[in-house]
Amino acid sequence: MSIIRPLFLIWYAIGLALMLTVGVPSALSFSNGLFLVFFTVYALSIESKLEKSPRAMYGRALAVGILTFVIERIGVVTGFPFGGYAYTPILGIRFVGVPLTIALAWVGILTIAVLLSASSTRLGRAFETGCWTVLLDLVLDPVAHARQFWLWGEGAGMTFYGVPLQNFVSWFLIAASASLLYPLRHVPTDIRREAARLMQLMLLMFGLLALREGLTAAFAIALAGIAGMEGAFRHAARNEQRLV
């Protein structure tokens, strides 16, 4: 999977440039969903450096994908647990109202969040994973709503740029719970660094898009998240050096 990193970065750079300027041409509308595919494959390629059994890694990814797809389907139909919402065609092929790429996105985000979490206990890692995931969603969801990747219903109570607050609580609980499917293991500095850079790229992209859409608080969260992640990574790296 060595080709996935440059492929992702090229797709990322071109896509971001288009979205910040002239927009994505209709002929390239498939690129939004494909970006999520590249993101997830890249995230799994980082995890694969730790995994002795590729079958176990892909089996876990499949389980997470199915689990989150089912939750998304329930959410689209009932409004629980995220709040009332519906997907538009922007993210590609939908099955029973849910884009297939959404399950992939959950796999990628969870994989990176787990790799970033430095706790030595499952419960501690679950808490950290939930926090990293919500950090990204605080920037991602307002942008996705503004750009109509998915649309939130009316009467959602308290919201953050139109996104119900219960959505962020649900993201935390789902991510924290799903992290328990991953083995508890030491993540070397170089792998955590690559995971951090990928998450920072996602925060940067959605942060810049938030700024373009006038979502200044989401942009500020993205900047704070990038800086905080860098500090957390450097702190973990220093601790690892002390133990060597």
Mean pLDDT in residue range 166-176: 97
Statement: residue 24 has pLDDT above 70: yes
Q: Quote the pLDDT of residue 170.
A: 97
pLDDT digits (tens, 9 = 90+) for 45-66: 999 999 888 899 999 999 999 9
Q: Quote the pLDDT of residue 156.
A: 64
Average pLDDT, rounded, for the chain = 92
Residue, of 240 and 71, whose pLDDT is higher: 71
Which residue is it, tokens 């498939």? Answer: 30
Alpha helices in the chain (DSSP H): 4-20, 31-47, 54-78, 100-116, 122-146, 165-178, 189-212, 216-243
pLDDT digits (tens, 9 = 90+) for 92-130: 899 999 999 999 999 999 999 999 998 999 999 999 999
Residue, of 234 and 140, whose pLDDT is higher: 140
- Which amino acid is it at 161? Y
pLDDT digits (tens, 9 = 90+) for 188-238: 999 999 999 999 999 999 999 999 999 999 999 999 999 998 887 777 777
Statement: residue 243 has pLDDT above 70: no
Q: Quote the pLDDT of residue 155.
A: 65
What are the two backbone dihedrals, phi and then psi, of residue 117, each rounded to the nearest 5 degrees?
-75, 130
Is residue 85 classed as helix, strand or coil in its secondary structure?
A: strand
Band (1; pLDDT cuts 50, 70, 90): low
pLDDT digits (tens, 9 = 90+) for 78-93: 999 999 999 999 998 9
Cβ-count burial of 130 within 10 angstroms (0-12 exposed, 13-18 middle, 19+ buried)?
buried
Residues contacting residue 228 through CB under 8 Å, at least 6 positions apart? none
Q: Where are the domains of the chain?
A: 4-243
